[in-house]
Structure 1
């Protein structure tokens, strides 16, 4: 039993080894911030492919200063090419209220006996009543009550970089920011696909105009470690059935 538990603990440590080694390397000092770099160099970054409409060439008009597809007579200063910067505005308010009550009860009773069985009941001891050889009863009661109340609000401005221009003109945007405050590293990430038409004149776009949006706001540091259950406790919560 001890060897089995030791094997489970060792396997868990190996599975989470990278995270544990990173935390151990930061003992006594602030979490290290990642360097500012090209988001497409991240090993987890992958180019996005989307269903595209048939591309039609824009007609050329002779002696015309207006360019087909332009949104202004002069050059548009909004993000339009790979490497351009666009500001993402995240203003998310989410609330949920769920309440559920269940109640179940069951009672059963079974009895069996053989009062007469080819006269063999006569040879049984007097303490045994053949008409009451078996009797069983069971009862089960289950009452469950659950309630969820959640309110979330996230408001932030995050500048991102256009990493792709899709064939239909849509832009893939990746935004990242990190803040180190009192040994707590705050990490903000926003990725998604936007339309050039949804970029405002001040070069901003709302998060609800982003397709395939992924918004992450988390932290890493001493305060987060205190608020998060240890990996051993998490394993016990998953494995212990009682």
Structure 2
């Protein structure tokens, strides 16, 4: 009896494609006619994707107090302010991205080459060339070659981005050197469209201004994501089957 393992494997593959997106399809069908649901407010440290930050740290600072001195080593001010400084404190992240880049490159290369060689005298053996090669051979013009190459390349990059957002973030860690790790998420729903903004990274306490705000370009290892889900976002994406087709179709 002849078996066809290739046919069985192909059938399993064809069945797995629609089943892979079955869960997503069921969720979308359940949300027909409903607004996109917002995620509950939770501790970001309990998220499955949360990872504590570990960075190289300097030696711990010793708290040395001088006699009759009001200043403590490492202190930023005489009086305590309301800026975020410990785990659980909230501060505002100001995101104002106005990037524009234009790049034009052009490369042109031309090369010409010409070579010739002859053998007029070689211990009398040059007379034997007529016995090996056709009649009329010229010993002084045995090799003559020409070569030419040309390369031309152009490249153009034109990019422009403009984002202006503000989001409140929570301090989730205070590192040994005093730097702090922040994590913030904001969700806004307008009719049937949900917009989500996520920001995270490492900041210095000195970069927080007097109104408890920090600019995005002062966040080290910054991770900023702005996207959404809903009717408009769904229309802008290809269908599930089209995405699978684009992945596996080799041409």
**Shorter-chain TM-score: which interval?**
0.7 to 0.9
Provide closer, same or farther for how the CA distance between residues 148 and 241 of structure 1 changes in structure 2, counting only shifts above 3 A: farther
TM superposition shift of 1:27: 1.9
Alpha-carbon offset, residue 198 of structure 1 = 0.8
Question: Per the alignment, in what secondary structure is the counterpart of residue 236 of structure 1?
Answer: helix
- In 1: Cα distance, 2:239 partner to 2:23 partner: 15
* Cα distance in 2, alignment partners of residues 17 and 73 from structure 1: 61
Indicate if the aligned counterparts of 2:102 and 2:158 stay in contact, CA closer than 8 A.
yes
Larger radius of gyration: 2
Instruction: Work out whether 1:219 is the aligned partner of 2:228.
Output: yes
Q: Could you list the runs of 5+ residues in structure 1 that have no partner in the other structure?
A: 103-142
- Work out which of the residue numbers 67, 79, 83 in structure 2 matches 1:78: 83
TM-score normalised by L of structure 1: 0.74
Give the direction of change, closer, same or farther, for the CA distance of 1:239–1:145 in structure 2 (3 Å limit): farther
Whether the aligned pair in 1 keeps the contact of 2:45 and 2:172 (CA below 8 Å) is yes
Paired position in structure 2 for 1:47: 52
For 1:159-198, what aligned pairs fall within 5 Å after superposition? 159-198=168-207
Q: Does 1:35 align with 2:44?
A: no
Matches of 2:76 and 2:169, distance apart in 1 = 22
Per-residue CA deviations over 1:168-210 (Å, capped at 9, x if unaligned) read 1100000110001011110000000001111111111111111
**Alpha-carbon offset, residue 5 of structure 1:** 6.3
**RMSD between aligned residues:** 2.8
Structure 2: distance between partners of 1:20 and 1:66? 63
Mapped to 1, the partners of 2:178 and 2:26 lie a distance apart of 43
Residues matched between the structures, number: 203
2:162 pairs with 141, 153, 166, which one? 153
TM-score by length of 2: 0.72
SS in 2 for 1:83: coil
Aligned counterpart, 2:13: 8
1:118-161 per-residue CA deviation (whole Å, 9 max, x = no partner) reads xxxxxxxxxxxxxxxxxxxxxxxxx9987553321111111100
Where in structure 2 are there 5+ consecutive unaligned residues?
1-5, 108-151
